[in-house]
Amino acid sequence: MENCIFCKIINQEIPSYKVYEDDKIYAFLDISQVTKGHTLVVPKQHVADIFEYDDDLASEVFARIPKIARAIEKAFPEMQGLNIMNNNKELAYQSVFHSHIHLIPRYSKEDDFS
């Protein structure tokens, strides 16, 4: 989709730090890390939010999350927990309207940026 920042990232028109990629999804580090390793998982198909997912897309995206969570854990073995978050529509704090799932590693309180 034109003028979508995450479509541009998927198409490598804007640089990003890739965490994982396959034919269905692209995962990359959030530019504004809540904690180190904060990753966004986005479907390659442009959908604005969760309301636009069909069953197949939901399965494809969510089935890949455990694998990506384990990759983050491997990169940051000191990680002690992980939040999975998905904001939908402006009122719910969505700011980029290409659906994405936040994977936010949690460490000891001292390591937390927030």
Tell me which of ligand 5GP, Zn ion, none is bound by residue 26, counting a contact when its beta carbon lies within the kind-specific cut-off of 5 to 8 angstroms.
none
The binder of 96, among ligand 5GP, Zn ion, none, by C-beta within 5 to 8 A per type, is: ligand 5GP
Task: Please give the torsion angle defined by the CA atoms of residues 7, 10, 13 and 19, in that order, rounded to the nearest 10 degrees.
Answer: 140
Q: Residues binding Zn ion: what is the number (CB under 5 A)?
A: 6
End-to-end CA distance of the chain: 33
| Residue 94 near ligand 5GP by CB under 6 A | yes
Q: How far is the CB of 80 from ligand 5GP (least distance, A)?
A: 21
16 part of the interface to ligand 5GP, by CB under 6 A: yes
Q: Does 84 bind Zn ion (CB under 5 A)?
A: no
Is 100 annotated in the active site? Answer: yes
- Among 92, 68, 96, smallest CA distance to 82 is for 68
Residues with Cβ < 8 Å from 21, sequence gap 6 or more? 27
